[in-house]
Amino acid sequence: MENIPLKAFQNALSMALLVSLLVFADVITKWFCIIDKFNRDQKRECSFANTFRGMFFRAWQEGYLESRKFREELGKKSRAYGISILIAIAVYLFPDFTVQGVPADEALSFIIYLSVVVAECFSIVENLKEMGVKEASFVRDGLLAVLRKFGVNPSQELTRPTERKDKDESN
């Protein structure tokens, strides 16, 4: 078995920690979305007390917070991100070669890590927008600006999801 260089191991460990924090933030924001929906469906105001009760007592029922569904989704995400990190390590171990002065193996490894981080950030922003946080749009717009700076043009679905919904609802 090949020894993993220290830099590749440190990169993977750092990214695993960052992704874990982002997944935790994603789970928490998703829980708040579901609890907010539960409170609206039950005709309860979205107060601190009702959110607390929903998170720990009331909302744990079918169609809202479900432990089985949570475990399955978290398991899928953990496997996918774990595999992504392993692929990034494998790409880093490719023979060193440069393209226009940039170490290609390191750059490809970084792009894999970046795609996981960006996906989680978009998921968190979607959850915040679903909760009605209007300021979440600036985070999405910032991420899109950074991606465009690197020459990545995300699909129309990512750039204007709210406008599409508004157009569909008006028809």
**For the chain, what is the total number of helices (H) and then of strands (E)?**
7, 2
Cα–Cα nearest to 103, from 2, 8, 10, 6: 8
Kindly report, residue by residue over 132-171, the tens digit of the pLDDT. Answer: 887 777 777 777 887 787 777 776 555 444 444 444 444 3
Q: What pLDDT score was predicted for residue 151?
A: 73
Kindly report, residue by residue over 67-108, the tens digit of the pLDDT. Answer: 787 888 888 988 999 999 999 988 888 887 777 877 788 888
Q: Which residues contact 36 (CB under 8 A, 6 or more apart)?
A: 46, 51, 131, 132
Identify the three-state secondary structure at position 102: strand
State pTM to two decimals: 0.70
Q: Which two tokens stand for residue 166?
A: 């508004």
Q: What pLDDT score was predicted for residue 79?
A: 92
The residue type of 42 is Q
Q: Which residues contact 163 (CB under 8 A, 6 or more apart)?
A: none
The whole-angstrom separation of Cα 34 and Cα 131 is 9
Q: What pLDDT score was predicted for residue 168?
A: 45
